[in-house]
Structures are given as C-alpha cells and as structure tokens.
Amino acid sequence: RVLVISSYDPSGPIARAGVGGSVRLLDAADGRQLQTLRMGVTLSAIVDPRTGQAFVVTSGVPSVSTLGGGMYLQGGTVRIQNDRTTISGNHVQYDPANLPSGLGGGIYGTRFGTTALDILIGAWQYQNGDPRPPISGFSISNNRADDRGGGVYLDGPSVSFLALETSLTDNSAANSGGAVFVYNGSSLQLSRNFPGAPLVPQCANYLECNVIRGNSVDTHSNYVAAGGAINVQVGSVRLIQTAVLQNSADSGSAINAGSIFGAPNPPNTIRLQGALVSRNNCTHGSNFRPCSTIDMGSGADTRISYSTLADNTHASGSSPVEIYAFSGVGSSLTLLSSIL
C-alpha cells in the first residue's frame, strides 16, 4: 500500500485521538483511523506539485499529540525511502493525567499484541538494473518530546528500527533519549550503505546522511537526565559507520544504558563499528555517576570496534570519563582497534 499525505486537517479524528500528530497507522480494522496497516505502508519522496518540495511529515497542531508527534506506528511493516524524506518540527506533550504521554517527538513505534513492528528506512524502491543516483538521506530533525525520545521512541520486543543513510539532528527530550529512546526489548540499527555494498545508492557525505548530531536532553539540577543521543533501557543498539556528534545530556552525552525490573542480564546490547563519537557534552553528572560520554552503568554487553571517541567535553568539577562501565552480571566491555 502507498500512503501519500498532501494535507493535514487538525480538526479531524487524528487530532482528537491525541497520538500521531500527522500519521496514525494501526494494525487494527478501525474506520476512525487514517489508514489500516496490514500489508505494509510505503512513505515515499513524493513531490508536492504546489511547492516543488519533497514529502515532509510535520504536525499541524503539535499540542494535540502525546505519543508520536509525527507518526504513531503500532504493529506491521513500514518502509520509508531514504531520499528527500523528512520528519521535522513535531512535538509531543506530557500529560500526567493521560499516561503514557510525551514520548516520541517524531516517531512512536510499538507492537500490536503479538504483531511485530518492522521499520526499514532504505533504498527499498530500487530493483536490479535500475539506475542508482546519489541519495540525500532520510532526516528526523527538530522534534521535541516532553518526556523521552525526542526523535524516535521504540517500545517492546519485536519492535525493530533499521535505518540506512539516516540523520537524526537537533531533536530534544525533557528526560532522556534526545534523539532515540530504545525500550523494553526493542532494537535500533543505523548503518551507512558502505562502499562495496552491491546495488545500493549512497549519500555523497556520510556526515550529513548517517549522523546523530545536535540532539539534547534538558539539564536538571535535582536529578540526572541521560542519553543525549540515545538512551537504551533494555534493548539493542548498533551503530555502523555512524557519526555521533555534538549531543548533550547530564550524563551519557552520547549513549546511556538503563534497566528495568525483571530485565535479563545483561539488559542491553551495544555495538559501535566504524563509529565517530566526538564533541558531545556531558553537562553535570552526579555524586553517584561520573560525567560520561557513554554510560553503561546499568549493565550492557558492549563492543566498540574500529571507532574513535575524541574531543568530548565534560562539566567542570565533575568526574569526567569517556566510558563508564559498572560490574553487572553478564556485562562486558570489549575495545578493538579503537581510539579513545
């Protein structure tokens, strides 16, 4: 199925629903929804003839959304083209009387019962023999969550987010996961279409197309809010040939690993391969946690290979560390051919 958005009416049923400020896709037969997601939905770089601009998801009335300011995805298969496609300028508000809320400024993804959610951002549109022009990448930018997951919030086992040539820039969250919050068994992978990969178009500049840059978590004086770029709380994160630059948080300015009750040991899996982690800023830390760039304090199986961590900054007077690891059951840290 192909879904093309040409306009958004804030007086419609989506606005009143309070989730999915622009797109609400459910794996359930419900006539009140914008679209029933069963066989998979395709969001393409459709050019609006009125403006000449490519497909952009923006929330018409950000204040009506509490989950998924741009997109609310529940179960099914979603394919998004990584060329001239953007989710930008959306906002989810926190409402203590209507929990959960304030999650996923750009995208909120969860499963529907036992139905998995599979999100793939890539060059799926090309067939063998098609010309492969350079691509501009997929952008998730300038979104805001009043709780967690400024750009993306993923919740639940069998929820997968695989993105090729994708940028997450200038998103923010109040409490954790400035760019992405990975929760409760979900998984995130960002990768570049690296040289030698067959039949795949590439972005000309990976620092523009495969980057997590300028995301932030609000600074708090009475508690630590962590994960300027990514916060993983029982889940899996894989960053391959990805640049993580200029993100900020109280601690874990690039990546923070957390846990929940009943989580397996170790609760998280983190893999960095050919990654650049630089110029991220830890704003204060705490008496219980050092001011770190990568915080594995709640437990993780972490492997960093062929990667560079350099020029990250830490609050004056804090206990600065690049990687903070705490001895938890099953937790480990492996460094291979990397620079710190």
109 pLDDT higher than 80:
yes
What end-to-end distance do the CA atoms of the chain give, in Å? Answer: 47
Nearest-CA neighbor of 171 among 101, 220, 231? 231
Q: Which helix (H) or strand (E) holds 16?
A: helix 13-17
Give the percent of the chain with pLDDT over 70.
71
Q: What is the mean pLDDT of residues 155-165?
A: 92
Q: What is the mean pLDDT of residues 142-157?
A: 94
Q: Which helix (H) or strand (E) holds 207?
A: helix 206-209
Q: What is the mean pLDDT of residues 252-278?
A: 90
Residue 105 DSSP class: S
> What Å distances lie between residue 304 and 179, 205, 257, 291, 337, CA to CA?
20, 23, 15, 20, 8
149 pLDDT higher than 60:
yes
pLDDT of 337: 96
The answer to which of 23-27, 32-36, 113-117, 192-196 has the lowest mean pLDDT is 32-36
pLDDT of 261: 73
- Our separate counts of H helices and E strands in the chain read 2, 32
Say how many C-beta atoms besides its own lie within 10 A of residue 55's C-beta: 20
165 pLDDT higher than 80:
yes
pLDDT of 9: 32
- Enumerate residues 6+ apart whose C-beta is below 8 A from 103: 66, 67, 68, 92, 145, 147, 148, 149, 153, 155, 181
200 pLDDT higher than 80:
no
Amino acid at 187: S
For the ranges 134-138, 218-222, 288-292, the maximum mean pLDDT occurs at 288-292
Average pLDDT, the chain: 78
Nearest-CA neighbor of 255 among 158, 199, 193, 179? 179
Q: Which helix (H) or strand (E) holds 318?
A: none
CA 196 to centroid of chain Cα atoms: 26
| CA distance linking residue 263 with residue 232, whole number of Å | 12
Q: What is the mean pLDDT of residues 228-232?
A: 97
Choose between 9 and 222: higher pLDDT: 222
